[in-house]
A and B are shown apart, each in its own frame.
Chain A
Amino acid sequence: MKLKRTLGVCAFGVALRVLSPVQAQAVVTDEDLAQIRQSIKQLEAQHAEDKKHIKELEQRLKNSDSKALASQTPTSESPTVPPPPKSDFPTTTASTSYSPAVSAPAQSSAPASAGAFNPAIGVTMMGTYAHFSHNPDKAPVPGFALGNEANSLGTQGFSLGESEVSLSANIDQALYGQLILSYPREGGVNVEEGFIQTTSLPLGFTVKAGRFFSGIGYLNEQHQHAWDFLDAPLPYRAMLNNQLGDEGVQIRWTAPTETFLQFGMEGLRGDKFPATPTNDGLGAQSVFVKAGGDVNESNSWLASLAYYHADAQDRQTTNDTTIDTFTGSSDLGIAGLVWKWAPNGNPVQRNLKLQSEFFFRHENGTFDDLAYHGDQTGFYGQAVYQFMPRWSIGARYDQVSADDGPSDFTGMTLDNLDHTPRRYSGVLMYDTSEFGRFRIQYNYDDSAQANQGVMFNYTVSLGAHGAHQY
């Protein structure tokens, strides 16, 4: 584990070096104020002069426009962009400017107000009506100590899902930032993600810092509203408390190859299940590798392999009525494969998505003051087929299994009750557009006792809508 620590510390170090130039002195003295006032006055004078100059230019432009119009042939659509001033390169109508606002006739009328720099704002809303045949709030998974959010299968009846507000923008030429706030129906606000990310480090490196969803799993990196099924598969539920988001630093390196190949590592605070924050502030670390490519025009794939290590100190989990305490380490491996098919690479009419992830976990330590060394596995496989524009249908199977601890654990949370928790799900989706989706999902959950559930859901997105990940 020492190696992992070193990697994590190294990650923080790099991040600090990246971040340090951004920090600015915020102490302002009276002298500074006077200077600033002086500068503003100068700027104002300059501004008045510029205004005059712009008026002149506008007049000249008007004159030349009417001339250009008169000289245009009726069939020619070719726009008349003024030639670049420095051009020793004889072109017909070129512009050397890299700023579209200057070179684009269409965009030159874009408003230049202060609001133009506002971040992109997107809102995602979800609502569900669910009916479960048994109480969904008490749904243990025998053999597993569940995180606090994984105890429930859903909410009976009507419920507003998490509403999300996302703000994102390029911070400058080197950084991108995103903040996602989520409003649970119980009230309060959570920072679901809040991170900065580099956009132009050399050699294919990317550094992300803040709070983010870990890159260890395919579903883990996506937001819940982007999942095809409404709920997390059993291995995510049992081993990652549905989804792992933590605070820390992530470094990725993309290889300069035709086949997509990316290596990543994360140093995390360890705030979230299965970790707990430790004294050195580095409760969890991960490494992962992803590879992907096209088989032909119609088929593409993405495979990933990840290793995640977490330390837990007096981690408390609640199972129905009992409170359990775990101290030790949790080592998790995840292997995943996603395969997409779209005829001629055009997913608009029909497309198919197959995905599966395997989880292997070893926990080592003391559970309720008893020595515990346990192995657990889990996997899910799902297929979603869009059979015509706007309509998709999907099926999923997921299961987990835990080895039976020594007889000391009989009757406790970690007793697997000689049962393999499993679930069968089906989903039907209808999209009103790229921004609106209705779903019906059916679950036959056999985690502990058979519990059938039907969920009706809408998921919509308002405003800026980020591009979809693969």
Chain B
Amino acid sequence: MNKFLICAALASVLSLTAIPARAAVNVFACEPEWGALATEIGGDSVSVYVASTGRQDPHQIQARPSLIARARSADLVFCTGAELEVGWMPVILRQAANGKIQPGSPGYLEAASVVSMKEIPQHLDRAEGDVHAAGNPHIQTNPHNFLPVADLLAVRLAEIDPANAAVYKTHHDAFITKWKAAIQKWETEAAPLKGVPIAVQHKNWIYLLDWLQLKEVVALEPKPGVPPSSGYLAEVLAKVKATPVKMTIRATYEDERPSQWLQQNAGVPAVELPFTVGGSDKAKDLFGLFDDTVDQLVKGVRQ
């Protein structure tokens, strides 16, 4: 008798908290930029869960139970790939044990798989700091990279949910048109940035620098992910004196102290960029992300 009661109680608890099955496709986006892209292409036909925020370091997300629960019911996992999530996604994928989203299945999508990667290391050694074998994974700082990813996503969504294929195609085409126009606008606005020397706090901006042709003079860490020693900071000061830089850029989630240190000691303005959707108040969606990024940079140059 008791067992029946327990079963009944469990069933009622489950039905209360069960994930609503209204939307056709449950998307589990590792980072906010992919969540935003999935919303652009999927519209109302998808329900998007974003596993991290703009104030978190995407390398270091804790494999929390809530993420496992969401991955359990996902139809599509949409991540950067290129080992960015290597510290947490493997555990989540294995614990969620959801056959639809295992690597190799249509429900597993890595954005980096269709983007030309930069900074692919010649040799791999952990003494070089936090390097990724597949190259620098922070591809979302160049809007051009969203074009092939949007294509891939639209095809994948149509594959998973053929009934709404036409919807995805319509959204995709509209997004591409709008996005290409926006890129032109950003590139016009960013014209004064061409060739401007800057410092970066962490080496996660290579795609942005390449896009806007900014010149990285120095990084505030000796190796990716390795905090600077006082000796290294002296080197940075010397470099900045020899080649003056206009600003230091850093992502919202990063510690503000290194770039502020350079501001105090060399008068180099510290500029905080959203880095992803949700990284600043203005970066509410993908368009806001680059509106704000270009705006902050142009302001930085004029300072």
Chain A residues with a Cβ under 8 A of chain B: 75-79, 81, 84, 87, 89-96, 98-100, 103-107, 170, 173, 176, 197-202, 204-206, 252, 254-261, 290-294, 297, 300-302, 340, 342, 344-349, 389-390, 433-435, 466-470
Contact = CB atoms under 8 A, between A and B. Distances in A.
Contact of A199 (B69, B97, B110, B142): B97
A139 to B, nearest CB: 35
A201 B155 contact: no
Q: Which 3 A-B pairs have the closest CB atoms?
A: A292-B65, A200-B99, A94-B151
Interface in B176-227: 176, 187, 207, 210-211, 225-227
A206 B17 contact: no
Contacts of B207: 77
Nearest to A301: B65
Given A77-B210, A100-B113, A468 B63 contact: yes
B97 A79 contact: no
B90 A466 contact: yes
A91 B155 contact: yes
Contacts of B91: 466-470
A252 B56 CA distance: 30
Interface stretch (B115-123, B262-270, B283-291, B293-301): B115-123
Nearest to B15: A257
Given A103-B113, A200-B98, A204-B72, A257 B134 contact: no
Nearest to A259: B17
A249 to B, nearest CB: 15
Contacts of B106: 98
Nearest to A252: B97
Contact of B14 (A252, A257, A290, A348): A257
Interface of B: 14, 17-19, 52-53, 55-57, 60-66, 68-70, 72-73, 81-82, 86-91, 93-100, 102-106, 108, 110, 112-117, 120, 126, 134-135, 142, 144-145, 147-148, 151-152, 154-155, 158-159, 165, 169, 172-173, 176, 187, 207, 210-211, 225-227, 253, 255
Given A294-B64, A345-B55, A95 B152 contact: yes
A205 B96 CA distance: 9
Contacts of A78: 144-145, 147-148
A79 B60 contact: no
Contacts of A90: 169, 173
Contacts of B227: 389-390
A302 B61 CA distance: 16
A87 B142 CA distance: 26
Given A344-B56, A348-B60, A254 B96 contact: yes
A346 B65 CA distance: 16
A94 B53 contact: no
Given A78-B147, A198-B97, A346-B253, A257 B18 contact: yes
Of B56, B90, B148, most buried by chain A (CB within 10 Å of CB) is B148
B117 A200 contact: no
A97 to B, nearest CB: 9
B154 A91 contact: yes
Nearest to B69: A260
Contact of A94 (B66, B142, B148, B187): B148
Of A77, A96, A176, most buried by chain B (CB within 10 Å of CB) is A77
A423 B228 CA distance: 39
Given A257-B19, A433-B126, A467-B91, A204 B98 contact: yes
A467 B62 CA distance: 9
Nearest to A464: B86
Nearest to B105: A98
B99 A300 contact: no
23 contacts: A76-B144, A81-B148, A90-B169, A90-B173, A92-B176, A94-B148, A103-B152, A107-B113, A173-B104, A198-B97, A199-B93, A200-B105, A204-B97, A205-B97, A254-B97, A256-B18, A292-B64, A300-B64, A300-B66, A390-B227, A468-B88, A469-B91, A470-B65
